[in-house]
Amino acid sequence: MIIQLFVVGLMLGCAEPNEIEMRPIVENGIIGGSIVSKDSQIARMAVYIGVAFFKNGRSVAENNCTGVLVSSKVVLTAAHCFFNNDIEFDSKKVYVAFGSDLKQSSDLVVWFAQDAFMHPEYKYLQKGSNSVDLAVVVLPKSAPMPFTPAKILQDFSELSESLSVMVAGYGLVSLFPKIPSANLKSTATKILEIRKDMMVIGAEVDNGTCQGDSGGPVFADIDGRLQLIGTVVGGLGVQCGQLTELTRIERLMPFLQPFLN
């Protein structure tokens, strides 16, 4: 989930909103699929999440993930984005980038998060934690226009296996070789399995999620409106663009609801 980015700003927890200068060194997420137009509904709900790790004040690594706006000041992403077992670190900074094209600095707004909270039952790399692999990122102020919160599906009975859904993310466009993304991308896929606590979606090979799409939104078109049904946890298998596990957002509302209030 690592992508090279240069950022300058304040530590996580700052009281006032701080815009950041960001210059990504990237190519052109999602394996296959298509680039999301900046004027589309998805582009106004999905955001880029960066987590920078530090050791003794020096940057040592960075994770990149995807998030989705669910209220004017709250973004959802994956809890595992806040961990990195490849390096030692003693602090981290979380930032959110608003913009479907990370190369277009004139259209990009980047803020450090005010705070971040992981689901209390999530345990990194612990078996059984995938169903609660969810984190809330709190923004320092309301998201910039024209970004608008996604509507969370309340009635899960509306969903069924084989239903077409849309997944979006800033993840890798190729795993071998590893090519990061500068664009929000999306692809259509289907629900393959609805479990008690999770879902599985899948598509043809080379058309689905990859590293960096973690936390990305999955939408179903219900009554002519895109509604959020889950967020990307991770792929099942060694290759990208195949089966992907999702959280079931409606199952996690007891954790999420206080932030929405």
* 123 burial type by CB count under 10 A (0-12 exposed, 13-18 middle, 19+ buried): middle
pLDDT at 261: 83
pLDDT at 89 over 90: yes
Can you say how many angstroms the Cα of residue 254 is from the centroid of all Cα atoms in its chain? 20
pLDDT at 15 over 90: no
**pLDDT band, very low/low/confident/very high, at 28 (cuts 50, 70, 90):** very low
**Average pLDDT for the chain:** 82
CB 85, CB 117: distance < 8 Å: no
Q: Could you give the domains of the chain?
A: 5-25+35-138 (2.40.10.10), 151-251 (2.40.10.10)
pLDDT at 5: 40
Q: How large is the average pLDDT for residues 1-19?
A: 35
**pLDDT band, very low/low/confident/very high, at 107 (cuts 50, 70, 90):** confident
Residues constituting the chain? 261
pLDDT at 22: 41
Q: How large is the average pLDDT for residues 56-63?
A: 92
Strands 198-202 and 243-247: antiparallel
Express each pLDDT in 165-216 by its tens digit.
Answer: 999 988 765 554 556 678 898 888 899 999 999 999 885 555 556 666 789 9
Q: Poorest-confidence range of 51-65, 140-154, 235-249?
A: 235-249
pLDDT at 21: 42
